[in-house]
Amino acid sequence: METNAFPSDLYACDSQIRFHGYDPDEALLKVAPREGERLLRQEDILQLIADEGEQIALVMLGGLNYYTGQVLDMQEITQAGHAKGCLVGFDLAHAAGNIPLSLHEWDVDFATWCTYKYMCSGPGGPSAVYINQRFLGDPDIPRFEGWWGHDKGERFLMEPHFKAIPSAEAWQLSNAPILPLATLKASLEIFGEVGMQKLREKSVALTDYLAHLIQPLMDKGEIELITPKHADQRGAQLSLFIPERGKERFQKLMEVGVICDWREPNVIRLAPSPLYNTFEDVWEAANALQA
């Protein structure tokens, strides 16, 4: 995995490794940005897989990094991992509802994401998993099971032996939280109505516009854009590294109604959301930042 992964991913991998009786310091291989750089290089990920792949069980990376906003080429990483016999999975918490994803086509083994960010289900909204169909229907797959993964027709017979639903639903443990699902359903209906392609088109235009408007601040060295410059390597978000008085500037932005967020160290994340942000919102946010 990557050194700058979201903390939950690091904790999950560390604890899984310990659960399997290994030492994370030895068993977890991490890719880091090169000295003096902030982004991962795709070639460094591929190189690590090429060098160590034979002893790697699982390649697990954030498809869109929460801190830098960098998008990885998930298809290429999946191919490289599979060529060495590794399973390949992605954390898509920041990618779902933000960039187009073709997990089936890319042959990703699994992915997981929360729905409370770009997918608008609200804080604590349900999470989701993608499981490649090649794993479905395998009764011997190592998996922790609960009653909500059991065949729906027979679930309430309360039988002692688990009969998996032949879909990713087999990974569900407990019954679903209905109130947060209701907000997620409302959001998904809007996504379905508009379509990811149109949303992505507007998203690229909004974010490019924001980058254009803050260019003068970058030229003056007051902020540094750490997110990749090309639209195909980023989603909606721009991560702005603020060398001085970052937190104060973040608080000022919030005071004037620009809802952004602060990530230690020194980063303001601005993410115009194509579902409800306008070009005027972006213009106002850039003016506020300038001020």
Ligand X SMILES: *Cc1c(COP(=O)(O)O)cnc(C)c1O
Residues that bind ligand X (CB under 6 A): 6, 8-9, 62, 66, 91, 93-94, 114, 127
Report, in Å, the least distance between residue 110 CB and ligand X. 14
**Beta carbon nearer to ligand X, 21 or 123:** 123
Question: Measured between alpha carbons, how far is 271 from 206 in angstroms, rounded to an integer?
Answer: 9
Catalytic residue among 6, 135, 162, 191: 6
Q: In 3D, which of 75, 51, 198 has the Cα closest to residue 61?
A: 75
- In eight-state DSSP terms, residue 2 is B
In the residue annotation, 117 being an active-site residue is answered as: yes
**Beta carbon nearer to ligand X, 2 or 109:** 2
Question: Measured between alpha carbons, how far is 124 from 137 in angstroms, rounded to an integer?
Answer: 30
Beta strands in the chain (DSSP E): 58-62, 87-91, 110-114, 127-131, 224-225, 238-241, 261-263, 267-270
- Alpha helices for 242-278 (secondary structure H): 246-255
**Beta carbon nearer to ligand X, 113 or 164:** 113
Report, in Å, the least distance between residue 94 CB and ligand X. 5
Catalytic residue among 66, 90, 110, 116: 116
Report, in Å, the least distance between residue 119 CB and ligand X. 11
CA dist list (Å): 33 to 3, 13, 39, 44, 56:
8, 20, 5, 9, 20
In the residue annotation, 6 being an active-site residue is answered as: yes
Q: The tokens of 261 are what?
A: 């967020």
Q: In 3D, which of 271, 222, 226, 270 has the Cα closest to residue 242?
A: 222
Catalytic residue among 67, 91, 130, 234: 91
Catalytic residue among 38, 109, 117, 118: 117
Report, in Å, the least distance between residue 177 CB and ligand X. 12
Which residue type occupies 263? R
**Beta carbon nearer to ligand X, 66 or 110:** 66
Report, in Å, the least distance between residue 38 CB and ligand X. 17
Question: Measured between alpha carbons, how far is 7 from 263 in angstroms, rounded to an integer?
Answer: 12
Q: The tokens of 174 are what?
A: 């407990």
Neighbours of 222 (CB within 10 A): 17
In the residue annotation, 162 being an active-site residue is answered as: no
In the residue annotation, 156 being an active-site residue is answered as: no
**Beta carbon nearer to ligand X, 123 or 153:** 123
**Beta carbon nearer to ligand X, 45 or 114:** 114
Question: Measured between alpha carbons, how far is 87 from 104 in angstroms, rounded to an integer?
Answer: 14
Report, in Å, the least distance between residue 263 CB and ligand X. 10
| Catalytic residue set | 6, 91, 116-117, 269
